[in-house]
Structure 1
Amino acid sequence: MIIVFTAVSRRRRPILIVALLFAVVLGVLGESSDRGTWLPVFAAWAGLTVVLLTLSVVAVSRFRPAALIMRGRAFAAWPNPARVLIASLFLIQGGFLVADGVHDIAAGEELWGFSAAMVAVCACALMVHWRLVWGWYGVQLRADGVHDRQALGSLFIPWDAFVPGYPAVASGSQKVAFHYQHPELVRRRGLRTGDQPATAGSVDATFLARAITEYVSRPEYRSAIGTEAELRRLTAVAG
């Protein structure tokens, strides 16, 4: 499972594109009146739905490695594989709904207005899921501080803004709460508040809190953030 989820995290964009292609093909073939075509299409749709739903549930509950990965000159949490799987599931489901709605509109059905509204809602929902997977969201540790970028806003905390003794603590299995000594140094964008905990994503929340504490208490290592040697040291210390 770890190998599968790691591959999903690393290849999230190609997986999303493949899911979109499957959604288009299944949606078009699903509108066929040929029973010999419709049954295999329905079987493929049902099978993909069960597989993606099962994997996404397992990923949400089980995939939280105590490790970060390199991203440029920063250490970042793994892209969430559950988000990739859920987005793929929505694409597969939405492909049928959109294809059916477009067919009703083209055929001039009496409720074509309802179909048009359904297509618009589905398209908006699919765009949201696409954006959540295509972009890189989550916590990143940089030489100058912690950057938490989410879909609705971002938070940047310079290292000097944290309380030295307990800068970050795990708040549940997926959240990390920050404690500030100098909250005026924190920079916020979008819908973010000072007391809003950061989402650890697919990384273990306790490990992430320990990593932040390490750099707050030992500033001499901050300049090495983004190097393989420092990532190995941090993993050994915070793991």
Structure 2
Amino acid sequence: MLTRGFATIARLRWLVLLSALGCAVALGLAAEAGNRAAMYTAVGGIIGCGGLVLLAMRYRPAALVPARDEPALIDPPAPHLVMQGVMFTLMCSVLVIGKVGAVLDREIGWPVDAVGSALVLVGVAGQWYLALGGLGLRVRPDGVVNRQLFGSLFIPWEAFAAGFPVTPAKHRLNVYYDRPELVRKRGVLVSRDTLPATVEPIRLAELIQDYVRHPERRSAIGS
């Protein structure tokens, strides 16, 4: 039942996040007007979302899914990232909305409130970007791409070791090369030696191994 629920959260991620935004605004305005129940509700929601994030991190879809924007197989939406987006959005009701009046009226300490609120909003925007997709693994006809927030890694099929290109580990794949000079890395915090596995690592490893050993099948990727 939990698996089905997390799959639904991932599929309806836009609706979930927009609903969280509406709740955050309503709770923040009510709390600013002196409604303590609204504040307690927001804090309880944040704590509850944190618990759901921990549970959702154990959810692993079986396989990659076809991309809409190019011929590729990509990571399916991650429910724990959606719930993190909800949690950060609810945090706005506690940390940001109550500061808006102080900033607009330039009360004592308003620059600190303005900077703090801006940082929270940037964090929320980042969480929404992660939740809505665009990052993660892409298996394409020309190779494997790992897109992360601060960098990316492109591994052409020719770069992989022919015998054992990848081996599965917990939440990741270990990568081995015959021609490491073909690998292209941009940015920071992206490893050349591992790939993230948001789906079942064993099935993902088998998929990549199959395309390394059978080049004639690569043209059908994502079709």
TM-score normalized by structure 2?
0.89
In the TM superposition, what whole-angstrom CA distance separates every residue of 1:199-227 from its partner, at most 9, and x where no partner exists? 223x1222211211111112222222213
**1:208 aligns to what?**
204
- d(CA) in 1 for partners of 2:211 and 2:83? 33
CA RMSD in angstroms, aligned pairs only: 2.0
Gaps of 5+ in 2: none
1:174 corresponds to which of 171, 174, 177: 171
How much does 1:130 deviate? Answer: 2.3
**2:16 aligns to what?**
15
**2:48 aligns to what?**
51
- d(CA) in 2 for partners of 1:56 and 1:169? 27
**1:115 aligns to what?**
113
| SS in structure 2 of the partner of residue 149 of structure 1 | strand
CA contact 1:79–1:136 (8 Å) conserved in 2: no
- d(CA) in 2 for partners of 1:193 and 1:103? 41
Gaps of 5+ in 1: 228-239
| SS in structure 2 of the partner of residue 79 of structure 1 | coil
2:75 corresponds to which of 71, 74, 77: 77
In the TM superposition, what whole-angstrom CA distance separates every residue of 1:32-77 from its partner, at most 9, and x where no partner exists? 13xxxx14423432442243222111011x2012222111322122
* Residue type of the alignment partner of 2:53: S
**1:188 aligns to what?**
185
Task: Give the % identical residues.
Answer: 34
In the TM superposition, what whole-angstrom CA distance separates every residue of 1:138-160 from its partner, at most 9, and x where no partner exists? 11111221111111111111111
TM-score normalized by structure 1?
0.83
- d(CA) in 1 for partners of 2:191 and 2:215? 23
**1:136 aligns to what?**
134
* Residue type of the alignment partner of 2:142: D
**2:31 aligns to what?**
30
**1:124 aligns to what?**
122
- Aligned in 2, Cα 1:183/1:194: closer, same or farther, shift over 3 Å? farther
CA contact 1:101–1:118 (8 Å) conserved in 2: no
How much does 1:192 deviate? Answer: 5.7
**2:5 aligns to what?**
4
Q: Which stretches of structure 1, 4 residues or more, deviate above 6 A after TM superposition?
A: none
After TM superposition, list the pairs within 5 Å mapping 1:158-173 onto structure 2.
158-171=156-169, 173=170
**1:67 aligns to what?**
63
CA contact 2:152–2:190 (8 Å) conserved in 1: no
- d(CA) in 2 for partners of 1:9 and 1:208? 20
